[in-house]
Amino acid sequence: MKLIERLGKEWLFFDGGTGTILQERGLAAGELPETWNLTHPEEIVALHGGYLQAGCDIINTNTFGANALKYPDQLQAVVEAAVAHAKAARRQSGREDAYIALDIGPTGRLLQPLGDLPFEQAVELFGEVVRIGAAAGADLVLIETMSDSYELKAAVLAAKENCDLPVLATVIFDEKGKLLTGGTVDSTVALLEGLRVDALGVNCGLGPEQMLPIIQRLTEVSSLPVIVNPNAGLPRSENGRTVFDIDADSFADWMARIAEMGVQVLGGCCGTTPAHIRQMIARCRQKPFLPPVPKERSVVSSFSQTVEIGGRPIIIGERINPTGKSKFKAALRENNIEYILSEGMMQEDSGADVLDVNVGLPEIDEPQMMAQVVTRLQSVIALPLQIDTSNTAAMERGMRLYNGKPMINSVSGKRESMEAVFPLVRKYGGVVVGLTLDENGIPDTAEERVRIAEKIYRTAAAYGIDKKDVVIDALAMTISSDSRSAQVTLETLRRIRDELGGHTILGVSNISFGLPQREIINAHFFTMAMQNGLSCAIINPNAEGMMRAYRAFLALTGQDAQCSGYIAAYGSQNTPAAPLPADAVMPLGESIERGLRERAEQAARERLHSTPPLELVNTELIPALDRVGKGFEQGTVFLPQLLMSAEAAKAAFEVVKDAMRGVPQQQKGKMILATVKGDIHDIGKNIVKVLLENYGYQVLDLGKDVPPEVIVETALREDVPLVGLSALMTTTVVSMEQTIRLLREKKPDTKVVVGGAVLTQEYADSIGADCYARDAMATVHYADEIFA
């Protein structure tokens, strides 16, 4: 019988430890266990044989660390031998009923952007193993001991894209129930259910006792069969050897208790032996088998957080969107990702639960921009994202690279739209927004909108997408052109909730398009919509009126226990503070020197009443910056102050720029900054960037780990006279040297300034740089020389 026909319907048992047993048989520390597939085949066959005789149903091939990074030349031989040994053991033990799991562990590398392994390369590394293992005859793929949700996603995608076998995945939690990269049980289940694995669970790290709370939560949230493969207790060091503290008897005791918790697959990990497994099976088989229960939860997730739709209404921040925002458009055109990140962080601080991400602009490569923005946002912000685009390629890039289960905005009732979007939701997982419009346009009655919602649910179901993973957009249309439109929207919300039992979403502020003082209408409509069942609101969380309406609604509907959220937001606020008297304004120069951003802004605004913008810049802003810069060079001002001053100056410059809108602005010159290939430390480069921008330079920031070719291409394309390169370690100065060499060859007139912890004047000379900058100010001076 096929595994998939038994999984979740009867007890199934995995084998136990591999590495710990091989170590007892002589595997040395640091020796790669998979090499034994080639050098000690009889030991591997015996290992599997022991577990099969103990009665387990699934044995794991000795391929945990087998990937092309560790076995660049022998991967195929290692994996094929591993599967062959498992088959031999199965034959010799007369256990042809047992299944062979192609075992896949982590790569041992950290993915970009926090590490240096690109996501797609991780997918390919896993894919290679899956292809070899599936061709060799494995019955299933077991992805295990994953401690990073992103790498886990890469492995699951690789398995799904390279074979048709069942895919099971287990992760390693610490005693606090966290993955090493911050994920929780909830976020892991959301991700894996979205990716449609066949079973999920936990292995390694802890013993059965310490796993209890984790298992408890797994069974509460997972709709899939749950796997539990613990260690034989906790490890301790005994005469330099790692030993585990639970014997076969007590392991079986604990596992019998776990068997009552609603799990479906049991086995062991480090330190467990055939004796552990044999006793575990004997005890657990007697327990009544409880199949998994579907949990009707609508959940989206990030690498570490989940947001559940259907409880209190969810706030989706709408600010990452270029529509009607000239600064945002400029940021997209200039590849200024920091601007987009800061928009995200501001909304997070304002109370958003999810961030909508829309980066569509006709003149940019949207799939590429979506990939870049999603990757950067999810490395610094823990809120789940909503991928918002009508470009299917951009949608797929965003969903594929997303570290979690995203929201997707949107699909409509049009056949073409559903045919494009549903396959993506099926493959990558997600909660998709279904617009109640179709080939005939937007219906002007609630009845017709509900009919379209039904069609969307029905079609989604045909793709295997549950109703819980669709939220219906009842469509807010402005009341300025049709005075009934709000009523239609509200009725639609109500009927979707009451008649279809579905979740809903609205882009709330559309309701007031064309009207003055839109926030008045928006806030009141928002309250009415929530009262009529709205589950998700796409709004600007920085708009105080909207958040007031939201917090008041929660407090009034018993969704804010003890009104604690309301009190936390408004308890300490008295009447609005009176504006500071004019003499309380700190002079602009002093605000900058002391690094006080808000004061500098305020001072600049004040001074602009009486002083022309350019005069303010030349007589106060620049001289203050110069004083701070000199102080830094003389050792009386320190790096944090230098940067705080720079940030205060930047804020003041922004105020001045706003005052000069329409007047063409001059930039002193354009230069490139980059942290070289192989180097992922970019603090130094970022410090230099802040200062250069302060002094009026346009900086093309290419980021970190930048290949020489990219730097040179950009220098050619943008005709840049100066390139600044940063490298932290001796190992990466090599790429700095390569970059300089390539630059000399292709664009000899461009100058190069270098900096970084290990660099010296001598070292800089030896790799052919034009200038060695010992600190950020030195780079500014050199730029002043070049662009003079």
Note the residues at the interface with other proteins (CB under 8 A).
28-31, 105-106, 108-110, 113-116, 145, 147-148, 172, 180-182, 204, 237, 240, 337-338, 341-342, 345, 379-381, 594-596, 635, 638-641, 643-644, 646-647, 677-683, 686-687, 690, 728-732, 735, 757-758, 760, 774
Q: Which is nearer to other proteins, 182 or 768 (CB)?
A: 182
Give, rounded to a whole angstrom, the gap between the first and last alpha carbons of the chain.
Answer: 79
CB 308 to other proteins: min, Å: 24
From the CB of 129, what's the least distance to other proteins, in Å? 17
Residue identified by tokens 């390629």 is 393
Nearer to other proteins, 157 or 727 (CB): 727
Q: How many CB atoms lie within 10 A of CB 200?
A: 27
Query: Which residues is 751 bridged to in the sheet?
Result: 722
Q: Are strands 235-238 and 226-229 parallel, antiparallel or unpaired?
A: unpaired
CB of 647 to other proteins, least distance (A): 6
Output 91 or 327, the one with its CB closest to other proteins: 327
* Furthest CA-CA distance within the chain: 94
d(Cα 579, Cα 600) in Å, to the nearest integer? 16
Nearer to other proteins, 515 or 729 (CB): 729
CB closer to other proteins, 262 vs 724:
724
Which one, 345 or 477, has the nearer CB to other proteins? 345
Distance of alpha carbon 727 from alpha carbon 666, whole angstroms:
31
Name the minimum Å distance from CB 782 to other proteins.
Answer: 18
Q: Which is nearer to other proteins, 182 or 669 (CB)?
A: 182
> CB-wise, 290 or 639, nearer to other proteins?
639
Q: 105 or 166, CB closer to other proteins?
A: 105
555-580 in b/e form (b: 16+ CB < 10 A) is beeeebeebebbeebeeeeeeeeeee
Least distance (Å) between residue 322 CB and other proteins: 18
Nearer to other proteins, 250 or 641 (CB): 641
Contact (Cβ atoms closer than 8 angstroms) between residue 422 and residue 478: no
Smallest CA-to-CA distance from 410 within 274, 589, 536 is with 536
Q: CB of residue 240 vs other proteins: minimum separation in angstroms?
A: 5
Question: In whole angstroms, how close is the CB of 728 to other proteins at the nearest point?
Answer: 8
**For residue 89, what are its two tokens?**
């053991």
Query: Minimum CB separation from other proteins for residue 264, in Å?
Result: 26
Q: How far is the CB of 701 from other proteins (least distance, A)?
A: 11
Between 420 and 644, name the residue whose CB sits nearer to other proteins.
644
Between residues 622 and 644, which has the closer beta carbon with respect to other proteins? 644
Asked if residues 729 and 116 have their Cβ atoms less than 8 Å apart, the reply is no
CB of 678 to other proteins, least distance (A): 3
Sequence letter at residue 536 = C
Helices 41-54 and 274-284, axial angle in degrees (round to 10): 20
Count of Cβ atoms closer than 10 Å to residue 363 Cβ: 7
Total length of the chain: 788
Q: What is the smallest separation between the CB atom of 559 and other proteins, expressed in angstroms?
A: 27
The minimum distance between CB 234 and other proteins, in angstroms, equals 13
Least Å from the CB of residue 681 to other proteins: 6
Residue placing its CB nearer to other proteins in the complex, 222 or 779: 779
Q: What are phi and psi of 720, to 5 degrees?
A: -95, 125
**CA-closest candidate to residue 207, choices 227, 233, 245, 178:** 233
How far is it, in rounded angstroms, from Cα 170 to Cα 152? 9
> Closer to other proteins at the Cβ: 427 or 704?
704
What CA dihedral angle connects 183, 194, 375 and 314, to 10 degrees? -80
Nearest distance in Å: CB 643, other proteins:
4
Distances (CA, A) of 707 to 103, 677, 734, 735, 736: 34, 5, 12, 8, 10
CA atoms within 13 A on the CB side of 729: 8
Nearer Cβ to other proteins (204/479): 204
Bridge-based pairing state of the strands 431-435 and 771-772: unpaired
Beta sheet of 669-675, edge-to-edge order: 697-701, 669-675, 722-726, 751-755, 771-772
Q: Where are the beta strands (DSSP E) in 147-231?
A: 167-171, 199-203, 226-229
| Sheet hosting strand 58-60, strand order edge to edge | 12-13, 265-266, 226-229, 199-203, 167-171, 140-146, 99-104, 58-60
- Rg of the chain (C-alpha set): 30
- The least CB distance from residue 621 to other proteins, in Å, is 18
CB of 713 to other proteins, least distance (A): 21
Minimum CB distance to other proteins, residue 699 (Å):
13
3-class SS at 776?
A: helix
Q: Given the complex with other proteins, which of 339 and 570 has the nearer CB atom?
A: 339
Of the pair 41, 118, the CB lying nearest other proteins is at 118
Q: Which residues contact 207 (CB under 8 A, 6 or more apart)?
A: 230, 231, 232, 233, 234, 244, 245, 246, 254
How far does Cα 250 stand from its chain's mean position? 40
How far apart are CB 155 and other proteins at their closest, in Å? 14
Distance CA 226, CA 291 (A): 10
Nearer to other proteins among residue 379 and residue 714 (C-beta): 379
Whole-angstrom distance, CA of residue 739 vs CA of residue 677: 9
Look-up: residue for tokens 């003890």?
562
Spatial contact of 523 and 509, defined as CB atoms under 8 Å apart: no
- Residue 9 burial (CB count, 10 A): 13
